[in-house]
Amino acid sequence: MILENRTLAELQPGDTAELRRTCTADDLFAFAVTSGNHNPMHLPGEDGDDDPTTEAVAPSMWVGSLISAVLGNVLPGVGTLYRSQSFEFLDRAHAGDDLVARVTVLAKAEDGTVRLGTEVVRAGDGSVIVRGEATVLAPRIKHRFEDGDLPGLVVQRHRHFDALLERAEALPPIGVAVVAPEEPNSLGGALLAARHHLIVPILVGARARIEATAREIGASLGGIEILDVADHGAASNAAVDLVVAGRAQALMKGHLHTDELLRAALRKENGLRAGRRFTHVFVMDVPGLSHPLLVTDAAINIAPDLATKVDIVQNAIDLALSLGIEEPKVGVLSAVETVNPAIPSSVDAALLSKMAERGQIKGGIVDGPLAMDNAIDIGAARTKGIESRVAGRAEVLVVPDLDAGNMLAKQLAYISRAEGAGLVMGAKVPIILTSRADGEKARLASCAVAAIHHARVSAVPVRGLAAE
């Protein structure tokens, strides 16, 4: 946008200008971080006065700052500097309100100062939120400025996981066999999910180590069942036995190697095989992305062949459907967006796309090969001339191999500040895989995803999601 000022000579009493702005939840978070004002009255989802409703009241100084945007951008515009500003706050704005900031020239002086009436009103009903007067030093020289090079701002907020938690907390908690929760992160994550009424944990492992860990983190194990099995392989088998007996509806990995847990789940007698390959799905909440992003397979299948990729795609579609994505758009990734026989992943991608067209993969729209840029960015897809219902809009990304998937998931986590819930699909029950590096949000979200998926396959109504 090109900004052009109005000089002191051009200004006349009665001149007026305004800008319109919608107050968003992200505005309130950004203001809290930049100002240091963490009053919960101004934070979405928080209750600041124990009434007990959440207020999300826009900070008065944030509302007042909208006036400075009119002064600096429009009237007088580029080159304007504040001398003084008075405020009288008459009402409150909230997240979701459309606001109009308006200034009117009252008088100007030869020393370059200009006095302006200022106000911010609610667009819907015209009620005045704040009014006052500003004195500014107006520019004397005509100037234009292009603001397109300003850095963007992405609020590091995980709204998709917040929504998943809300949905899962409305469901009955599921029984979860937690294997070897013998260090603070794994035990703490299970107990946190229990406090949020997502799971009823059964702790399977060395009782002495579990109890010592509970003392270390200051947690109570009162009312929680513990099966004392010291060996990790035996603990994994005992946890699978709980599922087979119907006492648990999911498994959760604690402080043990993934292959020990999966070996028990894959055993031929009384195991958890369900006719498909076990595949891993990350559900990523990427700040700034308007939907959850599923990445698969980044943890189990190292170099999957075409048959395994069919199961990878189908498992991911099934999970996406459970999460409420009505027709999941699956982008099969390669280094290029055209089929190249020298790049096997591009050939596999094309075959998977055709198999979906022929009904061999069901429930979603599959397209590939797609490169990462044109899978998730509509502008990149259009630049490449790709016309597809998936290109630029992918909700599921299928990677060529574990190397690529692991790198992608960790780039999203450590560079884009995404949170990732992890679930193994293809078994009779969901298997919750968490990493020692996972934070509380990721651990909670993993349990929430498992509970929501269990509800769908068990035909339990899920608030806000379409039951299948």
pLDDT value of residue 235: 97
| Residue 126 clears pLDDT 60, i.e. is over it | yes
Residues 60 and 85 in one domain: yes
What are the strands, taking DSSP E only, across 302-417? Answer: 329-333, 365-370, 396-398
For the chain, how many structural domains are there in total?
Answer: 3
Rounded-to-integer distance, Cα 142 and Cα 282, Å: 54
61: domain CATH number? Answer: 3.10.129.10
Residues 246 and 331 in one domain: no
Give the least confident one: 35-44, 315-324, 359-368, 448-457.
Answer: 35-44
For 98, list phi and psi in degrees, rounded to 5: -90, 125
pLDDT value of residue 302: 96
- List C-alpha distances in Å: 444 to 73, 99, 191: 44, 36, 10
SS3 441: helix
Amino acid residing at 367? D
- The greatest distance separating any two alpha carbons of the chain, rounded to the nearest whole angstrom, comes to 93
Rounded-to-integer distance, Cα 309 and Cα 121, Å: 56
Residue 214 falls inside a structural domain: yes
Rounded-to-integer distance, Cα 272 and Cα 265, Å: 5
pLDDT value of residue 467: 35
Mean pLDDT of 60-70: 95
Rounded-to-integer distance, Cα 110 and Cα 91, Å: 36
Rounded-to-integer distance, Cα 379 and Cα 15, Å: 40
Residue 101 falls inside a structural domain: yes
CB atoms within 10 A of CB 245: 9
pLDDT value of residue 153: 67
Mean pLDDT of 368-397: 92
Rounded-to-integer distance, Cα 169 and Cα 288, Å: 25
pLDDT value of residue 464: 45
For 406-445, the pLDDT digits (tens) are 999 999 988 888 888 999 999 999 999 977 667 777 888 9
Tell me the residue range of the domain where 296 lies.
276-426
Amino acid residing at 93? A
Amino acid residing at 345? S
pLDDT value of residue 251: 96
Task: Determine how β-strand 98-108 pairs with β-strand 144-146.
Answer: unpaired
Using a pLDDT cut of 90, give the percent of the chain over it: 74
Residues 172 and 237 in one domain: yes
Residue 400 falls inside a structural domain: yes
SS3 428: coil
Mean pLDDT of 447-453: 95
Rounded-to-integer distance, Cα 306 and Cα 44, Å: 46
Mean pLDDT of 182-195: 92
Query: CA 14: distance to chain centroid?
Result: 47
| Residue 463 clears pLDDT 50, i.e. is over it | no
- The residue behind tokens 């509302």 is 63
- Give the CB-side neighbour count of residue 351, counting CA atoms within 13 A: 13
| Residue 172 clears pLDDT 80, i.e. is over it | yes
Residue 405 falls inside a structural domain: yes
- Give the CB-side neighbour count of residue 423, counting CA atoms within 13 A: 30
Residue 459 falls inside a structural domain: no
Residues 233 and 113 in one domain: no
User: What secondary structure, in 3-state letters, does 112-179 show?
Assistant: CEEEEEEEEEECCCCCEEEEEEEEEECCCCCCEEECCCCCCCCCCCCHHHHHHHHHHHCCCCEEEEEE
* Nearest CA-CA partner of 129 in 279, 239, 23, 270: 23
Mean pLDDT of 62-76: 95
Rounded-to-integer distance, Cα 137 and Cα 453, Å: 61
Residues 6 and 142 in one domain: yes
The domain boundary, picked from 241, 258, 274, lies at 274
pLDDT value of residue 146: 80
Q: Name the token pair of 147.
A: 């603001």
Residues 283 and 418 in one domain: yes
Residues 306 and 413 in one domain: yes
pLDDT value of residue 75: 94
For 141-159, the pLDDT digits (tens) are 998 888 777 776 666 667 7
Tell me the pTM. 0.74
181: domain CATH number? Answer: 3.40.50.10950
Residues 269 and 281 in one domain: no
| Residue 461 clears pLDDT 60, i.e. is over it | no
Residue 110 falls inside a structural domain: yes
415: domain CATH number? Answer: 3.40.718.10
For 265-316, the pLDDT digits (tens) are 999 999 999 999 999 999 999 887 888 999 999 999 999 999 999 999 999 9
| Residue 36 clears pLDDT 50, i.e. is over it | yes
Rounded-to-integer distance, Cα 454 and Cα 432, Å: 12
pLDDT value of residue 466: 38
Residues 282 and 267 in one domain: no
Rounded-to-integer distance, Cα 139 and Cα 73, Å: 12
For 226-263, the pLDDT digits (tens) are 999 999 999 999 999 999 999 999 999 999 999 999 99
pLDDT value of residue 82: 95
pLDDT value of residue 50: 72
pLDDT value of residue 90: 95
Query: CA 429: distance to chain centroid?
Result: 24
Q: 407: part of which helix (H) or strand (E)?
A: helix 402-414
For 15-32, the pLDDT digits (tens) are 999 999 989 888 888 898
Amino acid residing at 153? L
pLDDT interval class at 465 (50, 70, 90): very low
pLDDT value of residue 170: 92
Average pLDDT value over all residues in the chain: 91
Rounded-to-integer distance, Cα 1 and Cα 429, Å: 53
For 394, list phi and psi in degrees, rounded to 5: -60, 135
b vs e for 31-60, b when ≥16 Cβ sit within 10 Å of the residue's Cβ? bbeeeeeeebbbbbeeeeeeeeeebbbbbb
pLDDT value of residue 117: 97
Rounded-to-integer distance, Cα 432 and Cα 262, Å: 11
The domain boundary, picked from 101, 116, 146, lies at 146
